[in-house]
Structure 1
Amino acid sequence: MTDNAVQFLSRPIATQPGQPLRVAAYSRIAEAIRTKILPPGSLLPTETELGTMMDVSRTVIREALMLLEEDGLTRARRGVGRFVADSLPRIGIEHIRPFDQLLGGTEQDIQVKRVAAIKQPASEFVAPGIGVQPDEDVWFWESVLIRNGEPLAHLQENVAQGIPEAEALAEAAEAPTLPASTLLEVLGGLPGAALGPGECQISLSTAGPSRAKLLGLRPSDPVLVLTQYVRRNGAPFYLAKCLVAAKAGHLSVIQSS
């Protein structure tokens, strides 16, 4: 291993509030792999060596390495050691799928409790993601995703109000007798709605006061943040941010080839 790799891995690890140490260790090693500080196919240091460099226990390193292998960033050879994968998977959930389906899987139903379905000015973050100007009015849907009576995720979805489906969206938002569903489900179920491609950025954060109240968490509790972008006809179309509580358990992540 190069001196550059040793220096990079030996930098002090700073964790966010509520972030497990194994996740911070995972992120450090994953960054070294994706930036090719640890080159494809190279042999990783042992658990003891990594623990010494990163000033964490072998248990933390072992758990971080398990996550790296699950995500396809490393591979193990019995009796030899762990290696950086020869080719790396793409980052994110490229398969377009409503978040309630992601959380529910094939065997569990997710209830979508709609908190809001309104028009509001687009923020500077939302505007480029759906192809509008900042402060332009857009559709904003907010929901809480519930499984077995327990709130698991907070979902915010955005789409431009001038799309051809605008009238259907207005009807879906205002009809109290219709079953609650996500904005993406409504869009995907409309005639001629060919969506794609899509991508999803994955990060970690804390719940914060307002979302913690909706999810039955403490503000400092860690959450997984999934930011989903969907394009249509090559142009930005839909943007969603979903905060998923740790109690959601295992997520089945589907990636496109």
Structure 2
Amino acid sequence: MTDRLSFLSAPLARDAAVPLRVQVHSRILDGIRTGVLTPGSMIPTEAEIGRLLGVSRTVVREALMLLDEDGFIVSRRGVGRFVADAVPQAGLERLRPIEDLLSMPGSRLELERTQAELQQKTSTYIAEELAIPSGSAAWFVETVVRRDGQAIALTQEHLPAGVDLDDPAAGGTALAKLLARLGPAVGSGVVRFSAGLLGESRAAPLGADPGEPVLIVTQTARLNGRPVYLAKHMLRAGAGQLSVRQ
């Protein structure tokens, strides 16, 4: 079995198309998936991982934050971070676009597209959620949601490269586009809720503090039984109540 320190210290690809935080996230997740980092075991500190991989603590902190909010690791205050005892499994339920969930009577909701690109390589986590080969191309669509001029949420959506979004840089969220075009064919998925922090990269489009606490809503959806959509919505305190029907 591969030694955990040797596994973590193997050089990163340094591929300009893949952000360092994504590469660090994929490395640690690969370690969890393959059993190099065993369930319940303590993982190295931010400083140790940064030294092993030759990256900054900020990069490592963002990668660990994502792994924590997705349930792959758990943090114990004053002790450290540990691999979760059980890897999270996806569940199924019908989804609604985030703009529908955040709209309020008498208020004006606006969507500001900040990114819309076909990324040539994607992370292990996104590839797993979309059931595509790791490192393959996928759509990335990022949107700031504003209510009455106030930025209340950041939405980051991922779809397989073969999905036709028409003009991904315009209109509503990618999920709204899929539902408008395909209707009930976009059927089942999962919604997960977790508490977390914005982090450096996600705070920038909102003009917010990276340490600001947010509610993280993770959505997935299927088309003809296959995963076709993954999104993370970072909801700020100003987003108000979120209603979920069961």
> TM class, shorter-chain normalised?
0.5 to 0.7
For residues 183 and 234 of structure 2, the distance between their equivalents in structure 1, rounded to whole angstroms, comes to 30
Shift of 1:144: 0.6
Q: Which amino acid aligns with 1:127?
A: A
Shift of 1:106: 5.2
2:167 paired residue among 164, 172, 184: 172
Specify the SS of the correspondent of 2:156.
strand
For residues 111 and 192 of structure 1, the distance between their equivalents in structure 2, rounded to whole angstroms, comes to 23
Identify the residue that residue 104 of structure 1 maps to in structure 2. 103
Contact 2:92 2:188 survives alignment (8 Å): no
Specify the SS of the correspondent of 1:122.
coil
Please, what is the CA RMSD of the aligned residues? 2.2
Give deviations 1:105-148, integer Å, cap 9, x for gaps. 45544211101111112211111211211111111111111100
Identify the residue that residue 235 of structure 1 maps to in structure 2. 226
For residues 193 and 149 of structure 2, the distance between their equivalents in structure 1, rounded to whole angstroms, comes to 26
- State yes or no: 1:206 paired with 2:201: no
For residues 159 and 172 of structure 2, the distance between their equivalents in structure 1, rounded to whole angstroms, comes to 15
Identify the residue that residue 151 of structure 1 maps to in structure 2. 151
For residues 161 and 107 of structure 1, the distance between their equivalents in structure 2, rounded to whole angstroms, comes to 38
Identify the residue that residue 253 of structure 1 maps to in structure 2. 244
Identify the residue that residue 140 of structure 1 maps to in structure 2. 140
Q: Which amino acid aligns with 2:160?
A: A
Select between 244-253 and 189-198 the one with higher mean Cα deviation. Answer: 189-198
Shift of 1:253: 1.8
- State yes or no: 1:219 paired with 2:204: no
For residues 182 and 236 of structure 2, the distance between their equivalents in structure 1, rounded to whole angstroms, comes to 34
Q: Return the TM-score normalized by structure 2.
A: 0.58
For residues 229 and 145 of structure 2, the distance between their equivalents in structure 1, rounded to whole angstroms, comes to 19
Give deviations 1:12-54, integer Å, cap 9, x for gaps. xxxxxxxxxxxxxxxxxxxxxxxxxxxxxxxxxxxxxxxxxxx
Q: Which amino acid aligns with 2:207?
A: G
Identify the residue that residue 10 of structure 1 maps to in structure 2. none
- Percent identity of equivalent pairs: 37
Shift of 1:93: 9.1
Matches within 5 A, 1:1-257: 94-105=93-104, 107-120=106-119, 121-163=121-163, 166=164, 169=165, 171-173=166-168, 180-191=171-182, 194-255=185-246
Distance 1:246 1:192, change over 3 A: closer
Q: Which amino acid aligns with 1:134?
A: S
Shift of 1:92: 8.6
Contact 2:117 2:141 survives alignment (8 Å): yes
For residues 210 and 118 of structure 1, the distance between their equivalents in structure 2, rounded to whole angstroms, comes to 17
Q: Return the TM-score normalized by structure 1.
A: 0.56
- Structure 1 portions without partners, runs of 5+: 1-90
Specify the SS of the correspondent of 2:227.
strand
Distance 1:114 1:253, change over 3 A: same
Contact 1:95 1:254 survives alignment (8 Å): no
For residues 142 and 191 of structure 1, the distance between their equivalents in structure 2, rounded to whole angstroms, comes to 21
For residues 167 and 147 of structure 2, the distance between their equivalents in structure 1, rounded to whole angstroms, comes to 22
Which structure has the larger Rg? 1
Specify the SS of the correspondent of 2:100.
helix
- Structure 2 portions without partners, runs of 5+: 1-89
